[in-house]
Amino acid sequence: MSMNRREWMQRGATFALGVGLGGRALAAEGKRPSGSGAPAASQKFPPKFLWGAATAAHQVEGNNLNSDNWLLERAPNTMYKEPSGDACDHYHLYEQDINQLADLGFNAYRFSIEWARIEPEKGFFSRAELEHYRRMLEVCHKRGLTPLVTYSHFTLPRWFAYQGAWENPESVDLFARYCEKSTAYLGDLIAYAATFNEPDIPYLFHWISFPGAPTGMDLAGIMAAQEAALRQQLNAPQFSSFLIGDAEKSRENMMSAHTKAKSAIKSTRNIPVGFTLAMEDDQPEGPDNHCAKKQADVYGPWLNLAKQDDFIGVQTYTRSRIAAKAIPPPIGAELTQMGYEFYPESLEHTVRLAAKETGVPVIVTENGVATQDDTRRVEYIRRALAGVKRCVDDGIDVRGYIHWSLLDNFEWIFGYTPKFGLITVDRETQKRTVKPSAIMLGKIAKANSL
């Protein structure tokens, strides 16, 4: 690895303004006219900039039988549109997929290892499954791809869910043990470790409006109702899961779990550790808006925690205009398949915010758009990258851009309908077809320049 923590902190500290999450600073950020500054001197990105695509185990591997999600997707009255099934069979086809990414010109791959496979029963660690992820890492290295590994991307072992998931204080030690065992087996091949993917999502649910939801119920309410129903159906009074659990209890344990897992990882192998954060580009609407409140509520504690880390992963897809609550996209705005606004400028704004609030290097660990029209993905990527370049030109320490996603995959409750991939997957034959956006982004990656 070419970086050490002190070097990162020193560079990052230059940009830390030492201010808390404040409405006015953020309001200015949100309103910042993108692309209005002087033209950038060069279109080049810094040397060793990471260019990659991302996946998450459950969304692409298929047959994640021991995970909590497998149950959730099949429960009566499930909120999932369809079950994940074979997904993209990336579990078997990973070599072909990683080779494709390298052939396109990329130099990084972000993926997650699946706790439900590695520890399918409490205390039993499967050497065979660890060996599987080792083989994936080896292919990355063979093809010159820097591997960024997420240890927990939403899904959990079933047994962990049955004992209350993150609501149970024992989760802290159990997660740290899993991270330690995995690092002992895989750590020599991991370049960047993220403990959690988007641990702030349950809080974000309070602020997201969900078309078609029962009146007065936010997404968090819907999730809580699912948890209650599942407990009854499974006759499991403690059953909980990341997306449907008690957000408050879970956050406290997850924050401790991150800290404990980080030292477990680092004492096993000194690799850069952080987590990735779900961020919307929050823009205040009206004088009595709750923009600052939302930011303090959703990101505040995590941004604060990230100050101790080696990097922060920024993940963003759209903006959110906030009055008392989030308001719908402007009339006539282009919408993505997810129902939210096509707004690539959100990336520049959230990168600036994360860098300013944490003072640590930023890696864009997810950014993308759900669309059937690949020309819109091309447009989205170009505009998002122009924003990243402006951040770099302003001296912000951005280390990479990892696109979501490598493949069209299982988009959680929305099933296989939304198309986020750079590559399409025929789910009958598992045949992959590269989209023009993949070729375009691969060329940028190869040139390290826009």
Residues of this chain that bind ligand BGC (CB under 6 A): 56, 59, 197-198, 278, 315, 366, 404, 411, 420
Smallest distance, ligand BGC to C-beta of residue 184, A: 26
Eight-class DSSP state of 427: T
Q: Which is nearer to ligand BGC, 243 or 392 (CB)?
A: 243
Q: Which is nearer to ligand BGC, 386 or 402 (CB)?
A: 402
C-alpha 46 chain-centroid distance: 23
Q: Which is nearer to ligand BGC, 198 or 341 (CB)?
A: 198
Q: Which is nearer to ligand BGC, 198 or 348 (CB)?
A: 198
Q: Which is nearer to ligand BGC, 167 or 366 (CB)?
A: 366
**Are 108 and 146 in contact, with CB atoms under 8 Å apart?**
yes
Q: Which is nearer to ligand BGC, 112 or 289 (CB)?
A: 112
Smallest distance, ligand BGC to C-beta of residue 188, A: 26
Smallest distance, ligand BGC to C-beta of residue 411, A: 5
Count the Cβ atoms, other than its own, within 10 Å of residue 217: 13
Contacts of 425 (CB under 8 A, 6+ apart): 88, 407, 408, 409, 431, 432
**Are 192 and 107 in contact, with CB atoms under 8 Å apart?**
no
Smallest distance, ligand BGC to C-beta of residue 197, A: 5
Q: Which is nearer to ligand BGC, 267 or 417 (CB)?
A: 417
Smallest distance, ligand BGC to C-beta of residue 403, A: 11
Residues 4 and 272: their CA atoms lie apart, in Å, by 8
Residues 228, 234, 238, 243: what is their CA dihedral angle, to the nearest 10 degrees?
-60
Q: Count of alpha carbons within 13 Å of 113, Cβ hemisphere only? A: 31
Residues 386 and 35: their CA atoms lie apart, in Å, by 8
Q: Which is nearer to ligand BGC, 143 or 427 (CB)?
A: 427
Smallest distance, ligand BGC to C-beta of residue 366, A: 6
Looking only at the bridges linking them, the beta strands covering 326-327 and 192-197 are unpaired
Please give the single-letter amino acid code of residue 11. R
Smallest distance, ligand BGC to C-beta of residue 420, A: 6
Residues 298 and 295: their CA atoms lie apart, in Å, by 5
Q: Which is nearer to ligand BGC, 182 or 367 (CB)?
A: 367
Dump the DSSP string for 91-146: HHHHHHHHHHHHHHT--EEEEE--HHHHSSBTTB--HHHHHHHHHHHHHHHHTTPE
Helix or strand (DSSP H, E) at 161: helix 158-162
With helix as H, strand as E and coil as C, how does 211-234 read? CCCCCCCCHHHHHHHHHHHHHHHC
Peptide bond just before 405 cis, omega within 30 deg: yes
Smallest distance, ligand BGC to C-beta of residue 262, A: 20
Smallest distance, ligand BGC to C-beta of residue 276, A: 7
Count the Cβ atoms, other than its own, within 10 Å of residue 220: 19
Q: Which is nearer to ligand BGC, 100 or 197 (CB)?
A: 197
Residues 164 and 335: their CA atoms lie apart, in Å, by 37
Eight-class DSSP state of 22: -
Looking only at the bridges linking them, the beta strands covering 432-434 and 273-284 are unpaired
Smallest distance, ligand BGC to C-beta of residue 153, A: 6
Smallest distance, ligand BGC to C-beta of residue 54, A: 8
Residues 60, 65, 66, 70: what is their CA dihedral angle, to the nearest 10 degrees?
80
Q: Which is nearer to ligand BGC, 374 or 411 (CB)?
A: 411
The owner of tokens 């991307």 is 153
Beta partners for residue 121, in sequence order: 124
